[in-house]
């Protein structure tokens, strides 16, 4: 039987000097674990290149461009295990706090509170976009709210794109949750006569639509479509 990542990375395991404490979450491009080293906490993201290809390296290239309070910081990376590297491991700052939607359910914020929270996120996205970077998977699960400051932090650039980075997929649409896709991208996908290999040109407008969906869900507790 083929081993899963849970068989390899377990609480109590030591990975390159980092002691694994517990699993924080999982996505389409990797699993994230809370780890401790010399008393400090980190988030380690384990990516299996044999499964997801070059997506992990793309995330490294993208996160190296950012130094913003509202974007998770990449602190380093390494290959693991040392003898026979199987995983690409991203060492990121640990952001204690719930996801955006979990925070909203717990606090039941007013519209003013929501706008105050999302405004710095909008400024962070503007800076990211100015550098030619698109997140392409903007959703509630990819935004954390810091426990102490109550500020949003954008995480998981595994599906991101950047000028000068080769494409990692030939799919017609960017890898994003269907509930956050813009009407233009859906119309493109459903268009009769669409040529094989033709791709929707994902843009800032698509990202802003996803941001609008976020605000809609936070205000109404349901998706617009």
pLDDT at residue 100 in the model: 97
**pLDDT per residue over 107-127, tens digit each?**
999 999 999 999 999 999 999
Residue 33 to residue 194: CA distance in whole angstroms: 41
pLDDT at residue 99 in the model: 96
Q: What is the mean pLDDT of the chain?
A: 90
Task: Name the residue among 75, 89, 95 with its Cα closest to residue 24.
Answer: 95
pLDDT at residue 7 in the model: 56
Select the more confidently predicted residue: 142 or 26.
142
Neighbours of 79 (CB within 10 A): 13
Neighbours of 16 (CB within 10 A): 15
Percentage with pLDDT > 70 across the chain: 94
pLDDT reading at 41 higher than 60 = yes
pLDDT reading at 19 higher than 70 = yes
pLDDT at residue 2 in the model: 44
pLDDT reading at 208 higher than 90 = yes
DSSP 99: B
pLDDT at residue 106 in the model: 94
Structure confidence at residue 204 as a pLDDT band (50, 70, 90):
very high
pLDDT reading at 194 higher than 90 = no
Select the more confidently predicted residue: 177 or 29.
177
pLDDT reading at 30 higher than 70 = yes
**Rounded mean pLDDT of 7-13?**
84
**pLDDT per residue over 149-166, tens digit each?**
999 999 999 888 887 665
pLDDT reading at 167 higher than 70 = no
Residue 122 to residue 132: CA distance in whole angstroms: 15
pLDDT reading at 1 higher than 60 = no
SS3 content of the chain, % helix, strand, coil (to 5): 35, 25, 45
DSSP 28: S
């Amino acid at each position: 039987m083929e081993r899963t990542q849970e068989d390899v990375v377990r609480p109590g395991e030591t990975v390159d000097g980092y002691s694994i404490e517990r699993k924080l979450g999982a996505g389409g491009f990797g699993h994230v674990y809370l780890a401790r080293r010399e008393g400090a906490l980190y988030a380690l993201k384990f990516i299996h290149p044999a499964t997801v290809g070059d997506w992990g390296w793309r995330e490294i290239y993208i996160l190296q461009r950012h130094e913003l309070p509202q974007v998770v910081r990449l602190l380093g990376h390494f290959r693991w295990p040392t003898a026979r590297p199987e995983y690409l491991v991203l060492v990121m700052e640990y952001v204690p706090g719930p996801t955006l939607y979990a925070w909203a359910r717990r606090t039941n914020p007013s519209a003013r509170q929501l706008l105050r929270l999302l405004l710095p996120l909008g400024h962070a996205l503007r800076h990211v976009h100015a550098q030619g970077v698109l997140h392409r998977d903007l959703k509630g699960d990819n935004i954390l709210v810091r426990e102490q400051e109550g500020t949003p932090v954008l995480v998981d650039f595994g599906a991101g794109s950047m000028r000068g980075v080769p494409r990692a997929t030939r799919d017609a649409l960017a890898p994003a949750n269907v509930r956050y896709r813009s009407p233009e991208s859906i119309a493109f996908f459903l268009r009769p006569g669409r040529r094989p290999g033709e791709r929707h040109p994902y843009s800032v407008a698509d990202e802003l639509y996803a941001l609008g969906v976020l605000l809609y869900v936070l205000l109404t507790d349901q998706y617009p479509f």
